[in-house]
Amino acid sequence: MGKVFHVMYDDDDTLKEAASQLVSKGVHIREVYSPFPIHGIDPIIGIKRTRLAIAAFMYATTGTTLALLGMWYFMIHDWPMNIGGKPSFSLIENLPAFIPVTFEFSVLCGAHGMAITYLLRNGTLPGMPATNPDPRTTDNMFVMEIAAEGQPLAADALEAAIQQTALVELSVKETH
Amino acid sequence: MQREAAIREPLILGNKTYKDITDDVVGPNEGPAPMGWKIMITIAALIAVYGVGSILYLLGTGIGVWGLNKTVGWSWDITNFVWWVGIGHAGTLISAVLLLFRQKWRMAINRSAEAMTIFAVIMAAIFPGIHMGRIWVSYWVLPLPNQFGSLWVNFNSPLLWDVFAISTYFSVSLVFWYIGLIPDFATIRDRMKKPLAKKIYGILSFGWSGRAKHWTRFEEVSLVLAGIATPLVFSVHSIVSMDFATSVIPGWHTTIFPPYFVSGAVFSGFAMVQTLLLIMRKGMKLENYIHVKHVEYMNIVIIVTGSIVGVAYLTELFISWYSGVEYESYAFINRFSGPYSWSYWIMMTCNVISPQLFWFKKIRRSLIATFILSIVVNIGMWFERYVIIVTSIHRDYNPSSWGEFHPTSVDIGIFIGTLGIFFTLFLGFARFFPVLALNELKTILKSSGENYKKSHESH
């Protein structure tokens, strides 16, 4: 049981200012919906840096390992062939010819691994329902979502604080 | 707020707001299809059908219906392949390399350039596929366990590197493009009135809601994908060039091939972007977003890469003489004075001389001149591949087996057909997709929009 405020602004900088004002009063902002990335909003509302890049690096190194392991198995271990006198008995000596595929496969695994992780972590997958509170937030409006519960201010004081910012619209929802 | 120097030309003209950007870009997707579009897609689709027919005839009869012979065993097929792959290089270069260099002008052109890339790579992939003759066994290019030994594919061969390079390039470009499209599909979904279209865009937009955390991840993914797509762009055409450079044919066996091919690819890719965008901006009334400054920036890239290509041509020529290898030297003398000298001089005129006209500011900023020169460059780049491929092999070491290549109607039909398929796909994209990256354009409105820049100046 509690109130959820959806505060709408018509400008990204206005929203950022409003967010700073509220945060300085100890208000926790649950979510911000915007039509494009608002640079500088993350530290204000307490969003940590994503670790996707680390994941991508790990996927890419997996790709590197798999490619080298595969080529060692196909070309050196399982069925060595003499092709133009290239060394077919040692991975290290045959390595220059294996660099292009190793690189491509690393990129393949890194890029796709990262993209899939990104979609899964976001919960954005084909056919998922949209959850933005107002359809205008993908066009030109910016919405801040604040839950009344767990705030240092009482619901009425919180609403008064929100009203002091340069908002365009405020909608209050009761959740059960 | 980020500001930029007042002397920089604004990238978004007119008195635009966030809402205007959405309306201007998504508007054409919502209204009825204009007559011009219907006419163009009908013509393109008819040509595409002819191309598909030619391909089916080829597959049913065998590659003997091409003009290939014992001496010239590679010709239009591989020429068209390299030409299309080359065109497919501008998109990822624009979206990845220019992103890393923080070039804001890329935002107006990256979406359609990437679409062009994807469609061009599909066209390119057709050629090695059908060149196998028995396309139904094309999965043999993959290292799959099999009943022949197992007999594996040869990882020493640049042709196999190409399989990996092209498929990686295609799929990574597709993912890069689609991740950028998701938020824009969400914009269309939230505006769309027609229920069926709303449903389709809803599925395509993956439930995107524009949460702050999602945007952070979005930007991280874009940056990292750009970082790994940049070496990918360079590697793909380097590997394509190694199809030739690692052979022992005079005229192909050249160490400068990788950088020469990469700059040639960027050169032709940008020319194709110009051809497409100059029509698109007019047809879809996007003149405020893709304007003379964008065209000028792209023309500067064309001068730079065109000049690199020119230097490469002259270097090849000089080294063939300086090396003292008579086979090498003959291959090049034959190129500019032999039976195919006409194609060599077309290549030289179109690729080396014509882009130099862009040194003149008037020409560089003229849309008509740019359009004409972009087509000239595309013709020149097709002939470049034709010259490299056919003139190097039509006179081999043994004069008794010298020959010439004459394209048949099937050669021509398939090439023209791929142009038809390409334009059909691109026109379909222009009709149903957000052709400019909405979410990215909105981020630069305040720093590079004309109205905002003026108001900054007056303060």
The pLDDT of residue A61: 95
The pLDDT of residue A103: 94
Question: What average pLDDT score do residues B132-149 get?
Answer: 86
Burial category of B374 from C-beta neighbours within 10 Å (exposed 0-12, middle 13-18, buried 19 and up):
buried
Q: What is the pLDDT of residues B96-121, one digit of tens each?
A: 888 888 888 888 888 889 999 999 99
Instruction: Look at residue B6 and tell me if it is in a domain.
Output: no
The pLDDT of residue A176: 63
Map B185-233 to HEC letters: HHHHHHHCCCHHHHHHHHHHCCCCCCEHHHHHHHHHHHHHHHHHHHHHH
Chain B residues touching residue A37 (CB < 8 angstroms):
215-216, 218-219, 439, 443
Residue A118 sits at the chain B interface (C-beta within 8 Å): yes
Q: What is the pLDDT of residues A1-43, one digit of tens each?
A: 578 888 888 888 888 888 888 888 888 888 889 988 888 888 8
The pLDDT of residue A83: 82
Which pLDDT band, with edges at 50, 70 and 90, does B2 fall under?
A: low
Chains A and B form CB pairs within 8 A to the count of 203
Q: Nearest by CB to B210, which of A75, A86, A137?
A: A137
Chain A residues touching residue B159 (CB < 8 angstroms):
none
Instruction: Look at residue B145 and tell me if it is in a domain.
Output: no
Chain B residues touching residue A87 (CB < 8 angstroms):
none
Whether the upstream peptide bond of residue B150 has omega within 30° of 0, thus cis, is yes
C-alpha–C-alpha distance, residues B44 and B123, integer Å: 14
Residue A39 sits at the chain B interface (C-beta within 8 Å): yes
Which residue of chain A has the CA closest to B215?
A37
Degrees (nearest 5) of the Cα angle B320, B323, B327?
60
Instruction: Look at residue B13 and tell me if it is in a domain.
Output: no
Instruction: Look at residue B159 and tell me if it is in a domain.
Output: yes
Which residue type sits at B383?
A: F
Q: What is the pLDDT of residues B296-315, one digit of tens each?
A: 999 999 999 999 999 999 99
Q: CA nearest B347: which of B304, B318, B390?
A: B390
Chain A closest CA to B51's CA: distance in Å? 31
Question: What average pLDDT score do residues B391-407 get?
Answer: 88
Q: Please judge whether B443 and A36 are an interchain contact, meaning their C-beta atoms are less than 8 angstroms apart.
A: yes
Chain A residues touching residue B155 (CB < 8 angstroms):
71, 74-75, 97-98, 101
Say which DSSP state A3 is in: E
Q: Nearest by CB to A126, which of B203, B209, B239?
A: B203
Q: What is the pLDDT of residues B247-291, one digit of tens each?
A: 888 888 888 999 999 999 999 999 999 999 998 888 888 888 888
Q: Please judge whether A103 and B231 are an interchain contact, meaning their C-beta atoms are less than 8 angstroms apart.
A: yes
Q: Does B397 have pLDDT greater than 60?
A: yes
C-alpha–C-alpha distance, residues A142 and B340, integer Å: 63
Q: Please judge whether B207 and A36 are an interchain contact, meaning their C-beta atoms are less than 8 angstroms apart.
A: no
Which residue of chain B has the CA closest to A14?
B1
Average pLDDT of every residue of chain A: 87
SS3 A140: coil
Q: Please judge whether A138 and B183 are an interchain contact, meaning their C-beta atoms are less than 8 angstroms apart.
A: yes
- Predicted complex ipTM exceeds 0.85: yes
Q: What is the pLDDT of residues B340-395, one digit of tens each?
A: 999 999 999 999 999 999 999 999 999 999 999 999 999 999 999 999 999 988 88
Q: Which residues of B378-391 are buried (b: 16+ CB within 10 A; e: fewer)?
A: bbbbbbbbbbbbbb
Chain A residues touching residue B149 (CB < 8 angstroms):
79
Output the domain CATH number for residue B63.
Answer: 1.20.1630.10
Number of domains in chain B: 1
Q: Does B33 have pLDDT greater than 90?
A: no
Question: What average pLDDT score do residues B423-429 get?
Answer: 93
Chain A closest CA to B164's CA: distance in Å? 6
The whole domain housing B315 covers 18-138+153-402+411-453
B167 CB-near residues (< 8 Å, 6+ apart) = A108
Residue A102 sits at the chain B interface (C-beta within 8 Å): no
Say which DSSP state B71 is in: S
Q: Nearest by CB to B155, which of A53, A75, A124?
A: A75
Instruction: Look at residue B146 and tell me if it is in a domain.
Output: no
Locate B32 and state its tokens: 């009825």
Instruction: Look at residue B148 and tell me if it is in a domain.
Output: no
Q: Does B4 have pLDDT greater than 80?
A: no
Q: Does B459 have pLDDT greater than 70?
A: no
**In this structure, are residues B266 and B355 in contact, taking their beta carbons and an 8 Å threshold?**
no
Average pLDDT of every residue of chain B: 89
Residue A70 sits at the chain B interface (C-beta within 8 Å): yes
Instruction: Look at residue B11 and tell me if it is in a domain.
Output: no
The pLDDT of residue B369: 92
Instruction: Look at residue B68 and tell me if it is in a domain.
Output: yes
Q: Please judge whether B214 and A124 are an interchain contact, meaning their C-beta atoms are less than 8 angstroms apart.
A: yes
**In this structure, are residues B85 and B236 in contact, taking their beta carbons and an 8 Å threshold?**
yes
Q: Does B328 have pLDDT greater than 70?
A: yes
Locate A78 and state its tokens: 């399982």
Q: What is the pLDDT of residues A93-137, one digit of tens each?
A: 888 889 999 999 999 999 999 999 999 988 888 888 888 888 888
